[in-house]
Structure 1
């Protein structure tokens, strides 16, 4: 192989190395109307979603100075191979300016990116204008943002139930990427609707959490949802336990009352006044007590032997006894 060929190979490898390790993950331009009121440093932060808040936790991972024409860039090596939510932001030059400008100008942009993707901000009228990206998750997030746009300016007749139904339906049926679904669910949490719906439909959210855990997403990305669901499911378990205690207590009380009723009925039955004997039955009873036989009783009362036996059966029944001995004991 000639020296020229070796030289060409070296140049090719050198350029390839620059392409692989020097390519920007983020690049683009910032539009600043009043440069004297703004700093010249763009900050790159990683975002962690938090529960029950419209804000989020940010961790600054890099910063870069703007060029004279407003260009900035961040190297791909700042990012991981997994999708994360990031933010680029330009801060006012002072705290005083921040208070004046924070409500007037959007000085940041959120997006999803990984090490294998790129994003480029084009010049525009906004500070961080339109951008192009090849990250599929961010492209789907843009669709979610378009859906959410109709709920940006909520009025007094805002129906949270309808918002819940429509947003949950869109997240469930129209979104395919787990991270974007998680962002959509976070919107429900921002409106204080997630906890109520998770209690009513725990299976859906637990199934979604299972999907998140089996995915390649960083666990810190969905930690807030896992913590909330753990709290909610524990509340459901506690509620079921309390209901179970109440049901068991009520059942035990019913059983106790039923047993008491049965025992009371039996006692009542035992203390019921005996059915009074007829005049003839009293005569038969007295003769039995005096030791007379059935035949002697029949002769004395001028009745048949069978009639005597009938009277004795009635006496035993009315006095709740079964023999002459019992009768003698009752006299």
Structure 2
């Protein structure tokens, strides 16, 4: 009996040591001279795109467009992987791949692990990367969600009014959320969550509102903890959820439109400005008599002529003095009145 048990253990040990993945498929003629890349996606905010730091391996398709990746260096548990092909030259990649979006590429995203055999055959209409065939039933979850997102975009294209868009935003938000949960794979739910919570998408505002009362997000966190307790996905989602909850808590509902608050602020600033201007003016008027007593006879004459809108040249002519003398009197006058221009002098006495 002991020998039998040891034999079984040995058999499973051999099987485990020989476990390896194989991902294969075909590219069409457009990409037959391109390079095919296998990437692992640890950051679900970078699921789609071209990111050099994610690349695990690369290969060149053969003359029929066939390619394959095989090995035993992947994680034992399910993770998100991406295969993409592009026709960029190495010299172009530094610029075309800089933002993660390559116009000369095609990709497929799937769930897999180190034990999976997965193929990417052409679809019935000879399109590549539209089918995922694998014994791992979760492998094609992303394609199913992409199909649903395509239906949503088509439906939104038929909405003519803003009211209709709002109603259908709520509808499709719920559909995508529930469908992700029905797939019974937290990584697939993360794919839907990434789309719904994307700050660049029109559904983001609805996501923040939904986050206030919907327990779905906490439930998703528990499902991730149970199935992927030590993964980057769980840690990233937990941090994002805490951050968004803090953001939602900081946003307080308002009973008035924004322009009411703007008008109130403007009114308050206007009242305060008038109050301080009045105080300053009152103080200046109280000091004027004593200031005027300090003016010389010539400075008083200059002040009188300034209030009559006379120019420097005209003042010099009336007083039979040079322009430089007039300027000297004016500078002394400004200092004693604590002003910097003719307009200030006129404003002081007109008020």
Matches of 2:15 and 2:67, distance apart in 1: 19
Aligned with residue 45 of structure 1, among 13, 25, 39:
39
Matches of 1:22 and 1:213, distance apart in 2: 26
Matches of 2:78 and 2:19, distance apart in 1: 20
Aligned to 1:77: 72
Number of aligned residues: 219
Aligned to 2:212: 199
By how many angstroms is 1:182 displaced?
Answer: 1.8
Change (3 A) 1:188 1:56: farther
By how many angstroms is 1:160 displaced?
Answer: 1.7
Aligned to 2:192: 184
Asked if the contact 2:85–2:106 (Cα under 8 Å) also holds between the matched residues in 1, the reply is: yes
Change (3 A) 1:19 1:229: closer
1:132 has 2:144 as partner: no
Aligned to 1:108: 107
Asked if the contact 2:78–2:111 (Cα under 8 Å) also holds between the matched residues in 1, the reply is: yes
By how many angstroms is 1:234 displaced?
Answer: 2.7
Change (3 A) 1:218 1:132: farther
Give the match's secondary structure for 1:138.
coil
Matches of 1:52 and 1:200, distance apart in 2: 28
By how many angstroms is 1:120 displaced?
Answer: 1.0
Matches of 2:136 and 2:224, distance apart in 1: 19
By how many angstroms is 1:88 displaced?
Answer: 1.0
Give the match's secondary structure for 2:197.
helix
1:225 has 2:237 as partner: yes
Matches of 2:15 and 2:228, distance apart in 1: 29
Asked if the contact 1:113–1:135 (Cα under 8 Å) also holds between the matched residues in 2, the reply is: yes
Q: Which moved more, 1:58-67 or 1:26-35?
A: 26-35
Matches of 1:207 and 1:70, distance apart in 2: 43
Aligned with residue 170 of structure 1, among 179, 183, 186:
179
Asked if the contact 1:43–1:90 (Cα under 8 Å) also holds between the matched residues in 2, the reply is: yes
Aligned to 1:211: 223
Where do residues 1-331 of structure 1 align in structure 2 (5 Å cutoff)? 21=18, 24-33=21-30, 35=32, 38-39=33-34, 41-50=35-44, 59-94=54-89, 95=92, 107-123=106-122, 125-128=126-129, 130-153=131-154, 154-155=156-157, 157=160, 158=165, 159-172=168-181, 174-190=182-198, 191=201, 192=204, 193-201=206-214, 203-216=215-228, 218-235=230-247
| Cα shift readout 1:102-143 (whole Å, capped 9, x = no counterpart) | 65x762111111112111122463343533111121244443
Please report the TM-score for the alignment, with normalisation by the length of structure 2.
Answer: 0.52
Change (3 A) 1:34 1:166: closer
Matches of 1:20 and 1:236, distance apart in 2: 49
Matches of 1:222 and 1:163, distance apart in 2: 25
Give the match's secondary structure for 2:138.
helix
By how many angstroms is 1:146 displaced?
Answer: 3.3
Please report the TM-score for the alignment, with normalisation by the length of structure 1.
Answer: 0.55
Matches of 1:196 and 1:91, distance apart in 2: 39
Asked if the contact 2:75–2:114 (Cα under 8 Å) also holds between the matched residues in 1, the reply is: yes
Matches of 1:210 and 1:72, distance apart in 2: 38
| Cα shift readout 1:262-304 (whole Å, capped 9, x = no counterpart) | xxxxxxxxxxxxxxxxxxxxxxxxxxxxxxxxxxxxxxxxxxx
Change (3 A) 1:230 1:107: same
Change (3 A) 1:163 1:186: same
Give the match's secondary structure for 2:77.
coil
Asked if the contact 2:41–2:47 (Cα under 8 Å) also holds between the matched residues in 1, the reply is: no
Give the match's secondary structure for 2:139.
helix
Change (3 A) 1:56 1:220: farther
Asked if the contact 1:122–1:130 (Cα under 8 Å) also holds between the matched residues in 2, the reply is: yes
By how many angstroms is 1:50 displaced?
Answer: 4.6
Matches of 2:128 and 2:47, distance apart in 1: 25
